Amino acid sequence: MRESTINADRVEQRINRLAEIGKISDTGVCRLALSPEDREAVELVKGWMEEAGLMARIDAFGNLIARMEGGNPGAPALMLGSHIDTQPYAGRFDGIVGVIGALEVVQTLVEQEIVPPFPIEVASFCDEEGCRFNKGLFGVRGLLGRLEEGELERADKHGVTRRDALLAFGGDPERFAECEYEPGNVGAFLELHIEQGPVLEALDAPVGIVTGIAGPLWWTVDLYGFAGHAGSVPMPLRKDALVGAAQVISGLRALAVSEPGAPTVGTVGSLKVFPDSRNIIPEHVQFTVDLRDIDLARRNRLEQQLRELLDATAQEHGLRYEIREDTNSEPRYCAKRLKSAIREAAQTMELAPPPELMSGPFHDSLAMSYYCDYSMIFVRCREGISHNPKEYASKADIATGTELLYQTALKLILDAQGKDG
């Protein structure tokens, strides 16, 4: 690879500095959306944006957005970015690489005295993770006018509603409408992100080009049985909600692996048992379902089979169940023109052709795909570990990904200048 234009040391220093906010171990971070730690991190990044000469603001949804006006401020903007909120047991890189990398791209343009013919925006979206209020992509969906009814009333494990957390953070639900983007404000969105999977490492490739994002289906399932003494109620007479839940959870895994070679994944990551006592038959179990696939027809077929399994299990054990659909998105494919731009940028850098792969995790790009063309660049991460303090991407690989993002943005700038000329 030829010599980089971006400042890799600056990128590394900023990532490490952010990791100090919400630090839970040598490498672990907990910076939940709309928490005081989240606000501290947003203010820190906002300061870096302003130091780079950008106009930065925190909108009513809690999004941090900086802008470089360019030669024609009225033209559709190129937006770069990701998020800096984390899971409760997280590493330093998920989302953060995309925000710091995007800022580095624009700061490098400023330092190189390159004036794009269109505005460039750097976004750090609020609450991509969704772990606190069990519904992610909040900030980006808010910006695009895609919030759903009742989202502000969702409560975290401590009973704090999103509305109250947003107000404490400095957001303002009364100003949502004025902060929404009109159609055409952004012409393209590029997101840099660690892969969160093992493919690039297996291929010995520092970066990859994303082809599309698998469609996530998120449920919250409640199973209701009947509590009784664990020592006196005969097994055939029990209505044990936890036994039913275990059967469904095991069945979800069986469905997810039912087609060899398919990228389908199914996960139950949260489970609550009531009354949660050693010698009481569980009466109520609540658990989450996360089902994803790049093939919507296959995911829909598995969803139907899962519903049938729930129904059969409830009948077998004398249970009642409820399903709340928290998220349902179809797979979204990256724009051909932007993938081509990334390929050409890789050639400019004298990189080996980057592998092309799908994304199982969703990202802010998923929401942006409904608004404008989008594409993503993945950075290799060690052993594919993510949502874990052991998450790691090397300085060299992050620098390669950031340089590829820069060269892609530069290509889009030169292409637009050529058309204008």
Determine whether the annotation assigns residue 229 to a binding site.
no
Determine whether the annotation assigns residue 387 to a binding site.
yes
Determine whether the annotation assigns residue 284 to a binding site.
no
Q: At what angle do helices 36-51 and 96-111 cross, to 10 degrees?
A: 20
CA-to-CA separations, 124 to 67, 100, 143, 174, 278, in angstroms, rounded: 12, 9, 12, 21, 45
How many angstroms separate the first and last alpha carbons of the chain?
31
Q: With contact defined as beta carbons under 8 Å apart, do 104 and 112 qualify?
A: no
Determine whether the annotation assigns residue 158 to a binding site.
no
Counting every residue written for the chain, the total comes to: 421
Token readout for 355 is 């592998």
> Alpha-carbon Rg of the chain, whole angstroms?
23
Token readout for 386 is 């993510």
Q: What single letter denotes the amino acid at residue 269? A: G
Judged on CB neighbours under 10 Å (0-12, 13-18, 19+), 170 is: middle
Q: With contact defined as beta carbons under 8 Å apart, do 53 and 45 qualify?
A: no
Determine whether the annotation assigns residue 94 to a binding site.
yes
Binding residues for Zn(2+): 83, 94, 129, 193, 387
Binding residues: 83, 94, 129, 193, 387
